[in-house]
Amino acid sequence: MAQTLETLGRRTTSMRGIRSVVHTMKTLSIINLAPYEQAARAIETYHETVLEGLHAFMTRFGPLVPTSAREMRLILIVFGSDHGLCGNYNESLAGHVAGKLAEQGMDVSTVLCVGAQMADALRDQNIIIEETFFPAASVDGIGRLANLLTQRLEATRKSVHPYDMAVSLAYVTQNDTNGQGPAITPLLPLDQCLLGDLSAKPWVSRSRPCYSMPANDLFTALVRSHLFATLFRAIAEALMTENAARLALMQQAERSVDDKLEELGAETRAVRQDEITTELLDVIIGFEALKKRKEPERQ
């Protein structure tokens, strides 16, 4: 259907407004991505220090002996997004979590969710949420959220006694195949491979480490720091992938808007040219009509 210049002008103005919003969101994604990457690298350095403390503890007291298998209370922490404009970020992770739980036949006792939109996506998969946390809005909020989750796990550990507690983290992480994808990683119990590597690692020093704290308190503090660092890293990586997904989506939207603006520009030029041609033809036809009327009078 043919459109007037006024209609095309309104559509062009609307598309330019949309492009401005898309460009702003793209810029914000680029700006936010760098601090989260820096936070992830910084917590890795802190985590290495915590692992070195565990190494020193096992050097002093010997390797940790795993406790006998008891009934496990499974806790799952799912990290989502409430900021929007990042595609099916929450729905993809919720579907992956539901698929893994059904595939492995896991009976999760407690599900903790970060983000209200993530909670809705999990409920759509018939997963019951016990508590929902607000996601971090900036780098400063990562430490706050990691501390809240650490305290929540500590309170849960005391409440499930004498049972063992197993904790897993579900979030979108970076990978080498598709760039990013949903993953579920175990947090507790402590990885036996990691503890074995620390136990087998030689202590490079002339003196053995010594402590002023009671051994139980020191081990509890080291495990709490390990949990905090791992949760901090998971939150930072989830925010990194969220902004990367939003950036990719905004780049695609920007290309689509540019293509649409180009089409509107071409259509506007064509309609304007048609109107100019019509007006010129009207002038010529009118001139010819007047010319024919004046010829009999002249004769």
Q: Is 5 contained in some domain?
A: no
Q: Mean pLDDT in the chain?
A: 84
Select, from the ranges 29-43, 56-70, 165-179, the one with the highest average predicted confidence (pLDDT): 29-43
Distance CA 126, CA 97 (A): 11
Q: Phi and psi for 167 in degrees, rounded to 5?
A: -125, 135
Write the DSSP string, 23-38: HHHHHHHHHHHHHHHH
Q: Is 53 contained in some domain?
A: yes
Provide the residue type at 51 as one letter.
Answer: L
Asked if 33 contacts 244 with a C-beta cutoff of 8 angstroms, the reply is yes
DSSP 163: S
Q: Is 18 contained in some domain?
A: no
* H or E stretch covering 63: none
Distance from the Cα of residue 41 to its chain's centroid: 17
Asked if 114 contacts 145 with a C-beta cutoff of 8 angstroms, the reply is yes
Beta bridge partners of 185: 169
CATH number at residue 183: 3.40.1380.10
Q: What is the mean pLDDT of residues 143-160?
A: 87
Is residue 163 predicted with pLDDT exceeding 90? no
Tokens encoding 220: 């509890």
SS3 of the chain: helix, strand, coil, percent, to 5? 65, 10, 20
How many independent structural domains does the chain possess? 1
Among the residue ranges 14-23, 102-111, 231-240, the one predicted with the least confidence is 102-111
Q: Phi and psi for 24 in degrees, rounded to 5?
A: -65, -45
Q: Is 257 contained in some domain?
A: no
Q: Is 259 contained in some domain?
A: no
Give residue-wise pLDDT tens across range 56-78. Answer: 888 887 777 665 556 677 889 99
Strand pairing class (164-174; 72-79): parallel
Q: Is 273 contained in some domain?
A: no
Question: What residues make up the domain containing 190?
Answer: 24-251
Distance from the Cα of residue 81 to its chain's centroid: 6
Among the residue ranges 6-15, 63-72, 115-124, 271-280, the one predicted with the least confidence is 63-72
Q: If you compute the radius of gyration of the chain from its CA atoms, what whole number of angstroms results?
A: 32
Confidence band (pLDDT; 50, 70, 90) for 287?
Answer: confident
Report which of 16, 158, 263, 15 is spatially closest to residue 271, judged by C-alpha positions: 263
What is the percent of the chain with per-residue pLDDT over 70, rounded to a whole number? 92
Q: Is 299 contained in some domain?
A: no
Beta bridge partners of 297: none
The CA-CA-CA angle for residues 235, 236, 238, to 5°, reads 65
Distance CA 162, CA 160 (A): 6
Distance CA 61, CA 249 (A): 52
pTM above 0.75, yes or no: yes
Q: What is the mean pLDDT of residues 4-25?
A: 86
What is the percent of the chain with per-residue pLDDT over 90, rounded to a whole number? 15
Q: Is 118 contained in some domain?
A: yes
Distance from the Cα of residue 61 to its chain's centroid: 41
Q: Is 140 helix (H, G, I), strand (E, B) or coil?
A: helix
Is residue 52 predicted with pLDDT exceeding 60? yes
